[in-house]
Amino acid sequence: MTERIDTIPLEEYLDDQAEKLTDLCTQCGKCVEVCPVIREGSPMLAAAEPTRVIGDVLDVLRGEPPTDYAAAWAEICTGSGECIAHCPESINPRLMLSIALNRVRAHKLARGENPMGDFYGRMSQIIKFAVGMQMSPEQYRRITGREGNAEQADIVFYLGCNVLRTPVIVFTAMDILDHLGVRYAVLGGASNCCGVIHLKFHGDAEGAGKVNGNTVDKIASFDPETVLHWCPTCVVQFGETVEGFKPRPFEFQHFAHFLLDRLDEFKESFGTVDRRVALHRHDGGLGIDRSVETVLAAIPGLELVEFEEHEHWAYTCGPGALNNVVEMRRAAHEQSVRSALEAGADTLATLYHSCHRDLCVFEDRFPSGVHNWTEIIGEALGLPAHEDRYKRIKLHKEIAAAIEDSREFIEANELDAASLETMLTELTPGKEQGLSLW
């Protein structure tokens, strides 16, 4: 068993990163000029001098209180990665904004003005209720690593937190790994968080370091060679924001990249899937959409249709990304759905779990529905399909009907139906446009 690896406090590590970034940045303003969220979502920042905006961010990294410009950009950053691709100094402005956001939120927290100060608690509650409406307690214990794992595993499937709200993705991905003969441990849920919520929402670097470190230690206890992760936020957190903070005796690889690497081993098992698929995409510099595209393209009978969408606006549809700016989120969804239909797609394939939560409400617009890409891989492999209970719940017109439809799971998980109804009432407004928090 791998021993626990101690490290310096995360705040100290980020201070060091901030100093390196400020030394390298020439304040040319190119990152501001190419940023889609500034262009599309902030008239104030769009009208400002680019060098002034990035200069204010640099001041935050040097320890100065955040200005309106610095706070606004850090808080609405969608993680598009366009700044990284266009930086003439080959540095990472997205990382600069991540560190700045931690300090902006910490500054607000100290003044009692941080509306995100309880985000982790709220997120955990939502996950608890969402899971409790869709799966058995035994299934929950399995995907959170509380039972069913061997003591040692060459591969750990690390889920992160929020994908648990869409179990169809989790169970289908696990079925694919089983089909490939992969022996793995699985670890997910809010108690196995990457630390991003404490860091970027709460402004709590100390807490983020502890959460991140504990999760790394849990993963390392399996002595894995490879850790497959799913959540794009975890990809950015581990691979960018806290990369180098805590030494890791394993390598991360995204689930989609893992499948692409092994495609030659299992593509002969694909059966024919007669679908015209519009693959909803995000770039963000992660390359995950391109791996998914290549795997889907290997399925006989499946045609990937070309259509227009704002894939460069954000690295995902979810919190800390596209839903930072509601009008951009609405416009992106409207264009994706309209363009996919105009291109003749019968299926809209979602990329990530947050995208699936937003876009599954457009199910009735597509002849073959809205499905996560993992479901299509499962179909091609002839695996038994899992019902998408999240989509089923969300498509109910009335909250009472959704609760009654989930009664079996609610009772098995000993949830309070009245509290559940209250939460759904608060979180479901805007769902018809893919804008709800549920």
Nearest to 353, CA basis, from 369, 331, 372, 330: 372
Per-residue b/e over 128-141, b at no fewer than 16 CB within 10 Å?
bbbbbbbbeeebbe
DSSP string covering 310-343: -TTS-S-SSTTTGGGSHHHHHHHHHHHHHHHHHT
Asked whether 176 and 383 are in contact (CB, 8 A), the reply is: yes
Q: What are the two backbone dihedrals, phi and then psi, of residue 285, each rounded to the nearest 5 degrees?
A: 75, 10
| Structure token pair of residue 136 | 């058995």
Nearest to 241, CA basis, from 199, 182, 289, 300: 199
| Structure token pair of residue 362 | 């457009």
Q: Answer whether residue 357 shows pLDDT above 60.
A: yes
Asked whether 142 and 401 are in contact (CB, 8 A), the reply is: no
Cα(41)–Cα(29) distance, integer angstroms: 18
Task: Name the one residue in this structure whose structure tokens are 């679908």.
Answer: 275
Q: Answer whether residue 140 shows pLDDT above 50.
A: yes
Residue 365 DSSP one-character state = G
Q: Answer whether residue 12 shows pLDDT above 60.
A: yes
pLDDT single digits (tens) 71-130 = 999 999 999 999 999 999 999 999 999 999 999 999 999 999 998 989 999 999 999 999
Read off the pLDDT of each residue in 394-407 and give the average, rounded to a whole number: 96
Asked whether 436 and 395 are in contact (CB, 8 A), the reply is: no
Task: Name the one residue in this structure whose structure tokens are 């889609």.
Answer: 36
Angle at 304 between CA 301 and CA 307, to 5 degrees: 155
H or E element at residue 68 = helix 68-76
Asked whether 166 and 127 are in contact (CB, 8 A), the reply is: no
pLDDT single digits (tens) 212-265 = 999 999 999 999 999 999 999 999 999 999 999 999 999 999 999 999 999 999
pTM, entire model: 0.96
Nearest to 324, CA basis, from 109, 43, 79: 79
Across the strands, what pairs with 278? Answer: 348
Residue 44: other Cβ atoms inside 10 A:
12
DSSP string covering 39-59: HHH-HHHHHS-HHHHHHHHHH
Angle at 119 between CA 65 and CA 44, to 5 degrees: 45
| Least confident piece of the model among 1-15, 98-112, 134-148, 169-183 | 1-15
Asked whether 99 and 18 are in contact (CB, 8 A), the reply is: yes
First to last CA, the chain: 39
Asked whether 257 and 287 are in contact (CB, 8 A), the reply is: yes
> What residues contact 128, with CB distance under 8 A and at least 6 apart?
415
- At 1 the pLDDT is 43
Cα(352)–Cα(279) distance, integer angstroms: 11
Cα(372)–Cα(426) distance, integer angstroms: 26
Asked whether 277 and 349 are in contact (CB, 8 A), the reply is: yes
Task: Name the one residue in this structure whose structure tokens are 């993992």.
Answer: 374
Percent of the chain with pLDDT over 70: 99
- At 7 the pLDDT is 75
pLDDT single digits (tens) 192-225 = 999 999 999 999 999 999 999 999 999 999 999 9
- At 6 the pLDDT is 59
Across the strands, what pairs with 229? Answer: 158, 254
| Structure token pair of residue 140 | 């929950």
How many residues belong to the chain?
Answer: 438
Nearest to 247, CA basis, from 225, 268, 214, 216: 216
Q: Answer whether residue 4 shows pLDDT above 60.
A: no
